[in-house]
């Protein structure tokens, strides 16, 4: 990952730069983690296919920029082009998520616990290879640098030797905007209340007149839309995407969800940012090969030591 400017010596500037990089990456992880967390909270299902929904989002963004004439000369203003990409990816992935829920998970609502997990593996594999089939294994590029002659990279905040590009501001800004919207939705609307009730106790919620199936569909809709947005944002940051990217990001997103406390909305956001920072620092200060190992160690440490995560509450197991 050559995008991160690594400075030679450990100084304040490089630390701040790594922090900004980590927050950028972390905000994408947070968006993915939210999808895992929402679905896990309600269905107690680890949606393995979520990472691949994210990947499809990145491809939708790539498709939209192609339709709009490429990033060098889009037929609409740049800000509108990026908005189109994000909206199209969000809607496309939301639809995909709802379809996956309807056909892969709903028939297994009362099946043994291992069944939906295997179904999820199958969906993940199916999506990955379908994209491979349709678009080949080559890396696709957003050509992010071509957007209005590179202004996304060149302009931004300059503060001494420190440079925070406009692109990073856009990415972090849109991720936080999405998270803010989600928080409003979960804590301020009727649907959000129904979601929280369902996640607390599905059967009780059903008996209280909540249409649980509808809540589940909306959960997939929202979670997958967030993953789609994350896909476009990652495409914009790194410029390159391919069919296999969902696997790695999915794992990181899941780790973020666990670290923050799975099923917990603010926890997923916090976890995403933490994992992004951890990865960025280990890239900058330790090694560029073993960052996965470090993220993995964090995951295992949390699962064994504090499975409820930073913000989660410990469940008391009733026997």
Partner 1 sequence: MSEPNAPPLEGPGIGKDEWVARVEARTQSGLPGEIRRFLLALPPWARIALIAVPAACIPALTNNGYFLQVAIDTSLFVLLALGLNIAVGWAGLLDLGYIAFYGFGAYGYAMLASGHTGLHWQAEVAIPVVVVATALLGFLLGLPSWRLVGDYLAIVTLFFFQIFLTVVNNGQRIQLPFKKLEAGLTRGPNGISDVDPLNFFGWHLNSLREYLWLAVGAFVVVIGALYLVNESRTGRAWRALREDPLAAEVMSMPVNWLKLVAFAAGAGIAGLTGTIFAAEQGSVFPSNFDLALLITLYAMVILGGVGSIYGVVIGAVVINVSLEVLRTPAHASWLFFIGLVLVFPVILKSWRLRGLVVAGVIGFGFAVHGIVGALWSGGVDGSTTGEAWIDRLIDNWVLLPNDPTVIGRWAYVTLIAAVLGLTLLRGLWRAAAIVPVLYLAACVWENVLVLQPSVARYIMLGGMLVALMAARPQGLLGSPRVEIV
- Contact positions toward partner 1, by CB under 8 A? 40, 45-46, 99, 103-104, 106-119, 121-130, 132-134, 202-203, 206, 212-213, 247, 251, 254, 258, 289-290, 292-293, 296, 299-300, 303-304, 307, 319
Query: Least distance to partner 1 from the beta carbon of 290, Å?
Result: 7
DSSP states along the chain: -TTS---SS--HHHHHHHHHHHHHHHHHHHHHHHHHHHHHHHH----TTHHHHHHHHHHHHHHHHHHTTTTTS-SS-HHHHHHHHHHHHHHHHHHHHHHHIIIIIGGGTTS-THHHHHHHHHHHHHHHHHHHHHH-SSPEE--GGGGGGGHHHHSEEEETTEEEEHHHHHHHHHHHHHHHHHHHHHHHSHHHHHHHHHHH-HHHHHHTT--HHHHHHHHHHHHHHHHHHHHHHHHHHH-EE-TTHHHHHHHHHHHHHHHH-TT-HHHHHHHHHHHHHHHHHIIIII-SSTHHHHHHHHHHHHHHH-TTTTTPPPPPPP-
Minimum CB–partner distance for residue 254 and partner 1 (Å): 6
Closer residue to partner 1 in complex, CB, 169/206: 206
**Of 99 and 157, which has the nearer Cβ to partner 1?**
99
Q: Taking the complex as a whole, how short is the minimal distance between the CB of residue 215 and partner 1, in angstroms? A: 13
User: Which CB, 2 or 9, lies closer to partner 1?
Assistant: 2
CB of 106 to partner 1, least distance (A): 8
CB of 155 to partner 1, least distance (A): 37
Q: Which is nearer to partner 1, 6 or 118 (CB)?
A: 118
**Could you identify the residue written with the tokens 């498709």?**
63
Angle 58-121-48 from CA coordinates, rounded to 5°: 55
Of 5 and 121, which has the nearer Cβ to partner 1?
A: 121
The distance of closest approach from Cβ of residue 292 to partner 1 in the complex, given in angstroms and rounded to an integer, is 6
Residue 87: CB minimum distance to partner 1, A: 20
Residue 109 or 313: the one with the smaller Cβ distance to partner 1 is: 109
Q: With respect to partner 1, which residue has the nearer C-beta, 89 or 299?
A: 299
Residue 234: which of 170, 151, 158, 299 has the closest Cα?
A: 170
């Amino acid at each position: 990952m050559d995008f991160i400017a690594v400075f030679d010596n450990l100084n304040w500037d490089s630390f701040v730069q790594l922090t900004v990089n980590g927050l950028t990456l972390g905000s994408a992880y947070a968006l993915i983690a939210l999808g895992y967390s929402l679905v896990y909270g309600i269905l107690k299902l680890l949606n393995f296919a979520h990472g691949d929904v994210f990947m499809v989002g990145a491809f939708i963004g790539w498709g939209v920029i192609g339709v709009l004439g490429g990033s060098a000369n889009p037929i609409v203003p740049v800000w509108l082009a990026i908005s189109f990409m994000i909206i199209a990816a969000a809607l496309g992935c939301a639809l995909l998520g709802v379809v996956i829920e309807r056909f892969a998970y709903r028939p297994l609502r009362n099946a043994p616990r291992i069944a939906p997990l295997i179904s999820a593996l199958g969906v993940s594999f199916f999506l990955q290879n379908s994209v491979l089939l349709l678009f080949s294994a080559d890396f696709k590029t957003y050509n992010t640098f071509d957007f209005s002659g590179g202004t996304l990279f060149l302009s931004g905040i300059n503060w001494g030797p420190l440079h925070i590009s406009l692109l990073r501001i856009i990415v972090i800004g849109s991720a936080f905007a999405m998270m803010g919207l989600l928080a409003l939705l979960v804590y301020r609307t009727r649907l959000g209340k129904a979601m929280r009730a369902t996640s607390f106790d599905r059967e009780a919620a059903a008996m209280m007149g909540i249409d649980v199936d509808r809540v589940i569909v909306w959960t997939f809709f929202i979670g997958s839309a967030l993953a789609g947005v994350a896909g476009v944002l990652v495409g914009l940051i790194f410029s390159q995407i391919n069919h296999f990217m969902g696997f790695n990001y999915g794992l990181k997103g899941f780790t973020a969800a666990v670290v923050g406390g799975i099923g917990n909305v603010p926890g997923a956001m916090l976890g995403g940012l933490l994992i992004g920072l951890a990865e960025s620092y280990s890239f900058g200060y330790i090694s560029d090969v073993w960052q996965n190992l470090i993220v993995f160690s964090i995951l295992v440490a949390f699962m064994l030591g504090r499975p409820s995560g930073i913000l989660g509450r410990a469940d008391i197991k009733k026997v």
